[in-house]
A and B are shown apart, each in its own frame.
Chain A
Amino acid sequence: MRRDFLKVCGWAGMGLAMPVSQSNLVRAEPKRPEPYAGPYYAVFNASGGWDTTYLMDPKGVNGINRLYKDGDIVTRGKHVFAPNAKHIEVGMSNEDFYKRYGKELLVLNGLDYSVNNHSPCKRYMATGKLDSHAYPTFAALVAACRNPHSPIAFLTFGNYSATGNLVPMSRVPYIPSLQKLANADGVNGSSRHMYHDDFVQDRIEATLAEQAEARVSQARLPRVEQAQSTLYAAQLNSQALKRVTPHIPKDTPKERLARQAEIALASFKAGVCVSANLTMGQFDSHANNDPDQMRLIPELLSGIDHMLRRAEELGIRDKLVVVMQSEMGRTPNYNKGNGKDHWSIGSIMFIGPGIKGDRVVGATDEKQFLVPIDPKTLKTVKEGGVRVRPEHIHAALRAKGGLADDAFSKQYPLDVPNEERIDGLWG
């Protein structure tokens, strides 16, 4: 019985992870679900479009910024960033962020989103594919490739979160929700009073496993196969959520990103989560750009700081890859409402193991236009060169994560010719 049970455990989840046109059992291997031990991925989304000239790509000329001049721009190591300590009330200043993380921070400036509308840009940034609704976000893809059996393998708090039908998405909006999930078989979540005696619970689980196994050989529609397999996996794998309990923080942070970070961190630490899509909105500063960005950028940096510090405390910092992105930049000029509109050129930042910090790749010129780079040397070039687009970033992320040759990755290929790859991005 136990062997069969584990066999079905191996099947569990594969239904969702495999394309329905293929056998769901192609990759089935009996195995005992183990806690996922990393690496973990956290993707921070500055939803709405951040003003990169107030963070990692400062200008201070041509009327692009009203809060500082080019002479005020700060340099720390290889990083050049906009000063904002004097303009913020709460959150983390650029100065403090670079001071704390500059040595491990990789910045890429001059990212070409190609279009400048929220919806396609979000999709493009999240997946590396502009013209498809089918592609998974990077966070979902890495969860599917690394460990789709984790009960909340791909955790999302919003923003574009398509899964490509590779792995279920989980939404855990509040920290107390984790506690609720941890002891599903206990009365009111209690670990002392169980609904069923242990031998009864074992019988129920074994009968469900037996039923799942019996169905494998039945003629079923592909959607039914997939749904039954996924459902079985969801219930079975949910038992691993017990591991979260010791890591649930006693106090809930007030800040929205910190709350998301705590849920993600507890799940990472418990080995039940591979990736998290964190998000913070309101960056779409069509009116009053400067006050909005001075409020939001420090809040974003504070949230990232919270995650990194707490990851350190939890002992998983060395396994945590952090991606910081937005779906677009903001125009080099102010509109009549003192706002800035959409701009199809922006930036992205990374911190994590295997990422060489204190580096800036790519650039924009004094009018905030993209400057292409040589994909091999990563240096800016005047002639030729590559306009770095989301697919280049995603191809590099896949390579870094060891996903490039995974069947799931191949199911969603990226349009990046070999000669354009920027695999040296990580240093």
Chain B
Amino acid sequence: MITNRINPALVLVTVAVLTPSLIGAPTKPAPDQTAHADAHRGPRQVAIERYFRDELWAKVVESTCLNCHTANGDANDSGLILQDPAKLTPDKRSSAVHANLAAFHKVATALKKGESVVLLKARGKLAHGGEVVLKPGSTRYRILEGFVHRVTGDGHAPTKDVDAYDPPAFFDGVVMLDPQRLLRRVTLSLAARLPTEAERAAVAKGGLDALDPILDRIMTEEAFYDRLAEGFNDIFLTRGYDGNGEEALSYNHFGKTRLWYQKYDLSHIKDEKERKQAGYKLAREYREALLREPTELIKHIVRNGQPFTQLVTADYIMVSPYSSRGYGVFDEVKGKFKNVDDPYEYVPVRLKALQHRNGRDHQVTPTGYFPHAGILSTFQYLKRYPTTETNRNRLRARMYYQHFLGVDVMALAPRVSDAAAVSAKYDNPTMQAPDCVVCHKSVDPLAGLFQDYQNRTNDYGPRKEGWFDDMFGPGREGVDLPAEDRWRVLPWLGEQTAKDPRFAVAMVEHVWTIMTGRDVLLPPMDIEDPVFTSKRRAYLMQRDAIEVIAARFAADGFNLKDVFKAWVRSPFYRADGLATVVKHPRRRAELADLGLVRILSPEQLERKLEAVFGKRWGQLERQTAILYGGIDSKEITKRIDSPSGAMGAIMRIMANDMACKHVAVDLTTPKDKRRLFPNIEMDVIPGSSAEADQQIREAIVHLHAHVLGRTDKIDDPEVERTYRLFAGVVKDAKAKGRYEKLESYFCRGADGQRVPDPHYTLRAWRAVVTYLLRQHEFLYE
């Protein structure tokens, strides 16, 4: 079995103690595994355990001894049998760790000719089956020596870097987002809107506990489902398949229907130009409808509270009035639509077994239906990850592992001493060369399961020459495809996947990615890194949270909404600041990934602008979206997470333009309809009176709350700073004396006219809004 993120999960306390805080016991900081574990033992034993955990296990054993010294490993008859905590349920890990420590203690203290047996074995002595594992003098060997010295008590001084740092509880000193700001974060992130007054009041009264019912409501809103689709497309990239949308449907099976729009009767449109435009629109919307189908499946599953395992098991696809015509099933399903003219209303449908245009090579199934397997068997997914005669579906197998089990089989490809020579040495390296077999024995059986979906044109049907017999046969993780399931290979795969614990973990990781814009942490690999242990601690803490959420997700019926709620409650999502400045490099490394701190994507920024101003900017599309770090799901598949100067320029343009478009309009709109300035007018001049200054500061407090989500008091330094900007601009203008008494020609009022600005206050407010829109609090989540 290929394991997903390597999870040594070396905890010295039970996960039962650890986990509630990791997934959101909201009121107390997380108990620290290290501190907790250290409480009841003597300092020497604590030091030994920490050394074993942080040094020997993390840097040596996992990557060496554990490969053979397990009950099922090659060294299962040796005197050192270890348990891999990553393969155990959380409740058994603690005892496994202690057993491992005891096992190592035994071989470390056993002597042969006055020297520790474990050191001799590591050097290949005493007939060690694994021969030389550690070279004397190497970092790993020195760590093993350090362990031996510690347990034998021979006076070897503990190394400074290991023992000098006494880590605090993991979330100690981390300030969590207050409930009101958390509310704003989730409404903006998941529902593209600001919180309602009722929601604010509920949270003010009930705190964090009031958030769950609000989240339940948010996750019924259409904006949430759009966000869900966008987020999962960032992962599956199904919108990025080659060619026009209809090219997902093969010519051989849908040749008569997939271009239905070309013959669609638009004769009722008399004007030729209009008719042409209507035809273009029809094609455009049909293609878009097809592109959306895979994520519409996800929306349907979540909206209806179906188990998210349907992602890989659903025996239906989602079709719209337009896309159903492409499959030739419109007449069959049209009664299910509320509006047959809505290209984007989707309903589930089971396709019948495919009919080949040649009249012979039809798909034959016992049920008469196409064997659907959720997104796995959608034509869009298959076309997004095409295959060739030489690739043999291995790309699809790789993506399967990545998307549904959270395993990147290509992540850390083992180095081969001479890959070309290996290729030449063996007749069939992928089945014979050990260096190749290690991966291909997992990847190739999976690839074989896609054998009926062969090529770039998405034709269905077995390969004429039969599936390749020079690769491992179809199956999954050591289980051969049962003959009776041959006609339904992908549903069989989906069923196996749904039962795999890694599926739930992968989905929890996907939701994390959607909510934070970044991948989950990977285990650190560089044991020479001075902050290796700190990075590993951060990794393990996050991993524990993921596994706990995944376990609950699976136990409670795979409702994906529960995962969103669990992450929102989690301190990983709520971490917002520090109580005091942290300077210790190891502590900083532990905290390095904490905090959402995500630059808004082009789509998110547009939605936030709409939520704040009532209108989108409308510029962050196509080329500008790419400039602003967006993706096209084809060539550009990773969003930029750190702004360059190019993105900085777009931020400036956006801030200038949005302020220009909205400040004068808002200030010339009736007060009760204003978003930005509900309590002030342009004739309030800074410095003119104490009341005026108070009013300006109150207006700033409102702007800070509305635009930035801050809850400032009137004497907050940031309010003062903004006030100084506003007052400074007015003062500078006055000092200049000569300025136009009208707002800019380009920044007009609600009636479309230029707005008088005799005191320069309107332009000063525009400067303030520009300033706020360029801030971190606005541009980041």
Q: Which residues of A contact B (CB under 8 A)?
A: 16, 20-23, 112-117, 119-120, 130-133, 150-154, 158, 163, 165, 168-174, 176-177, 180-182, 184-185, 187, 189, 193, 195-197, 199-200, 203-204, 207-208, 210-211, 214, 217-224, 226-228, 230-231, 233-238, 240-241, 272, 281, 286-287, 331, 335-337, 339, 341, 343-345, 367-370, 387
Contact = CB atoms under 8 A, between A and B. Distances in A.
Contact of B767 (A112, A117, A174, A196): A196
25 contacts: A21-B585, A22-B585, A23-B583, A115-B419, A119-B413, A151-B649, A168-B647, A173-B623, A177-B627, A180-B624, A181-B646, A195-B747, A203-B732, A211-B721, A214-B721, A219-B577, A221-B575, A223-B597, A227-B597, A238-B652, A272-B645, A344-B418, A344-B420, A368-B420, A370-B420
Nearest to A119: B410
B651 A234 contact: yes
B597 A237 contact: no
B390 A22 contact: no
B585 A234 contact: no
A214 B771 CA distance: 16
Contacts of A153: 644-645
Interface stretch (B13-21, B265-273, B635-643, B667-675): B635-643
A220 B578 contact: yes
Contacts of B576: 221
A210 B723 CA distance: 13
Contacts of B578: 219-221
Contacts of A272: 645
A220 B597 CA distance: 11
Given A116-B419, A130-B415, A219 B580 contact: yes
B463 interface: no
Contact of A116 (B423, B657, B722): B423
Interface in B302-323: none
A237 B588 contact: no
A144 to B, nearest CB: 12
Contact of B586 (A21, A221, A370): A21
B656 A185 contact: yes
B610 interface: no
B390 A286 contact: yes
A285 B421 CA distance: 21
A343 B420 contact: yes
Given A177-B623, A227-B597, A337-B390, A114 B419 contact: yes
B774 A208 contact: yes
A221 B581 CA distance: 8
Nearest to B439: A117
Contacts of A165: 642
Contacts of B391: 286
A2 to B, nearest CB: 15
Given A184-B656, A219-B578, A221-B578, A341 B522 contact: no
A107 B774 CA distance: 48
Chain A interface SS verdict (over half): loop
A219 B582 contact: yes
Contact of A234 (B531, B586, B644): B644
A181 B591 contact: no
Q: Which 10 A-B pairs have the closest CB atoms?
A: A151-B645, A234-B648, A238-B648, A344-B419, A168-B644, A184-B652, A238-B649, A234-B643, A120-B413, A170-B644
Nearest to B638: A161
Contacts of B597: 221, 223-224, 226-227
B534 A21 contact: yes
A132 B413 CA distance: 10
Contacts of B724: 207
Contacts of A120: 410-413
B643 A131 contact: no
Given A115-B413, A170-B645, A204 B725 contact: yes
Interface in B336-368: none
B652 A227 contact: no
Interface in B566-616: 575-583, 585-586, 588-589, 591-595, 597, 599
Nearest to B767: A200
Contact of B646 (A16, A170, A207): A170
A196 B757 CA distance: 14
B627 A222 contact: no
Q: Of residues A165, A237, A335, which shows the largest number of chain B Cβ atoms within 10 Å of its Cβ?
A: A237
Interface string B522-536: 100110000100100
Nearest to B535: A21
B780 interface: yes
A158 B583 CA distance: 37
A23 B640 CA distance: 24
A200 B729 contact: yes
Range of interface residues on chain B? 35 or more
Contacts of B746: 187, 193, 195
Contacts of B414: 115
A189 B747 CA distance: 15
Given A119-B410, A203-B728, A219-B582, A208 B646 contact: no
B687 to A, nearest CB: 16
Interface of B: 174, 388-391, 410-416, 418-421, 423-424, 522, 525-526, 531, 534, 575-583, 585-586, 588-589, 591-595, 597, 599, 623-624, 626-627, 629, 635-636, 640, 642-653, 656-657, 659-660, 717-718, 721-722, 724-725, 728-729, 732-733, 736, 739, 744-747, 763-764, 766-767, 770-771, 774-776, 779-780
A196 B649 contact: no
Nearest to B588: A21
A185 B642 contact: no
Nearest to B646: A170
Nearest to A339: B390
Contacts of A230: 642-643
Contacts of A368: 420
B725 A171 contact: no
A367 B424 CA distance: 10
B648 A236 contact: yes
Contacts of B412: 120, 131
Contacts of B647: 168, 170, 234, 238
B591 A221 contact: yes
Contacts of A176: 623
B739 A222 contact: no
Given A130-B413, A180-B649, 14 more contacts: A119-B410, A133-B411, A171-B626, A176-B623, A189-B653, A196-B763, A204-B771, A207-B722, A217-B581, A221-B597, A231-B779, A241-B646, A286-B390, A343-B420
A369 B626 contact: no
Contacts of B656: 184-185, 187, 195-196
A168 B624 CA distance: 17
A164 B643 CA distance: 14
Contacts of B626: 171, 173
A172 B627 contact: yes
A184 B721 CA distance: 24
Contacts of B579: 219
A133 B522 contact: yes
Contacts of A180: 624, 627, 649, 653
A170 B626 CA distance: 10
A224 B579 CA distance: 14
Given A151-B646, A163-B642, A224 B577 contact: yes
B413 A336 contact: no
B389 A337 contact: yes
A210 B526 CA distance: 39
A167 B627 CA distance: 16
Contacts of A367: 424
Contacts of B643: 168, 230-231, 234
B390 A341 contact: yes
A343 B724 CA distance: 65
A154 B646 CA distance: 11
Contact of B627 (A173, A345, A369): A173
Contacts of A171: 626-627, 629, 636, 640, 646
A222 B591 CA distance: 7
